[in-house]
């Protein structure tokens, strides 16, 4: 019944919505009020997949996702890199010279900070980009605008006052595709895979160095390593790791054995094909 539904956080027109339509055009995209709600829909079988942003090339990681992943048993079954084209949206007939305030998600505001300052606008944080666009359409105030997608402008009847207002070219968001069931792809030589995991380390000298040593000695490339505080205290760190490889490769197996020995609470989040963006931009060997 819910096999054709993919959940995302935000209003219709959010970049997560845009990514859902691009990757799974045959599925129905379901808007959710929060990341937790989107993930909960999958856990409860009310949606087959969730499209969740993990990090942005300009503004960095989405901190909330790292806090939520240990609390869920969902699996990563894919990734998607979405180039972000931030648009300045206003009511019909409005002009940049009239603007005073600008609303959007904190990540989008951070990604356009230089441009916002150059216009002398007051930034106002909102829950998501599309919600900020919806508010502009409801207020009909020519002095208030939003940063959102061209899809949001289309859905809410707004003018695109300027496109590509992000501070840096190449602004890209990486999304994780989450599922209730694990889906290990078959290893095929020549295909590039990413294996994601989380772990903690033993309280011993050089614990992290020893836990990661197996990846170095077995020539397994680490493409991402993030640390964050676990359990609501400042006493213990948890690590998120992305390795270039598949568990059926002997080198990855040996590296994971060493991680299991020196680490603890090791959890494989998923193995999936590397997105073409990685090879196009030489992010992995």
Return the active site residues: 173, 175
List the structure tokens of 154.
């289309």
CA distances, 132 to each of 150, 212, 247, 259, 273 (Å): 13, 42, 43, 44, 34
Q: How far apart are CA 8 and CA 24, in angstroms?
A: 12
Q: Which residue has the tokens 């009511």?
A: 91
Q: How far apart are CA 139 and CA 91, in angstroms?
A: 9
The dihedral through the CA atoms of 24, 27, 30, 36 has a sign that is negative
Q: How far apart are CA 221 and CA 285, in angstroms?
A: 8
């Amino acid at each position: 019944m819910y096999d054709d539904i993919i959940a995302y956080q935000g209003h219709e027109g959010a970049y997560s919505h845009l990514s859902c339509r691009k990757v799974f055009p045959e599925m129905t995209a379901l808007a959710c009020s929060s990341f937790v709600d989107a993930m909960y829909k999958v856990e409860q079988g009310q949606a087959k997949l969730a499209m969740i942003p993990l990090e942005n090339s300009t503004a960095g990681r989405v901190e909330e996702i790292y806090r939520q992943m240990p609390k869920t048993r969902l699996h990563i079954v894919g990734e998607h890199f979405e180039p972000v084209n931030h648009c300045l949206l206003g009511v019909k007939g409005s002009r940049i010279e009239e603007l005073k305030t600008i609303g959007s998600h904190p990540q989008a505001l951070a990604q356009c900070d230089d441009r916002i300052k150059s216009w002398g606008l007051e930034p106002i944080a909102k829950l998501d980009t599309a919600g900020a666009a919806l508010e502009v359409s409801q207020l009909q105030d020519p002095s208030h605008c939003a940063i959102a997608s061209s899809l949001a402008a289309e859905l809410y009847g707004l003018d695109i006052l300027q496109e590509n207002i992000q501070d840096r070219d190449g602004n890209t968001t990486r999304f994780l595709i989450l599922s209730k069931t694990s889906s290990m792809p078959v290893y095929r030589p020549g295909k590039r895979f990413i294996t994601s995991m989380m772990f903690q380390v033993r309280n011993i000298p050089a614990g992290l160095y020893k836990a990661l040593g197996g990846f170095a000695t077995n020539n397994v490339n680490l493409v991402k390593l993030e640390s964050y505080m676990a359990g609501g205290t400042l006493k213990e760190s948890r690590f998120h790791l992305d390795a270039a490889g598949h568990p059926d490769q002997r080198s990855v197996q040996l590296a994971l054995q060493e991680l299991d020995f020196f680490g603890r609470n090791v959890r494989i989040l998923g193995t999936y094909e590397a997105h073409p963006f990685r090879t196009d931009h030489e992010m992995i060997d």
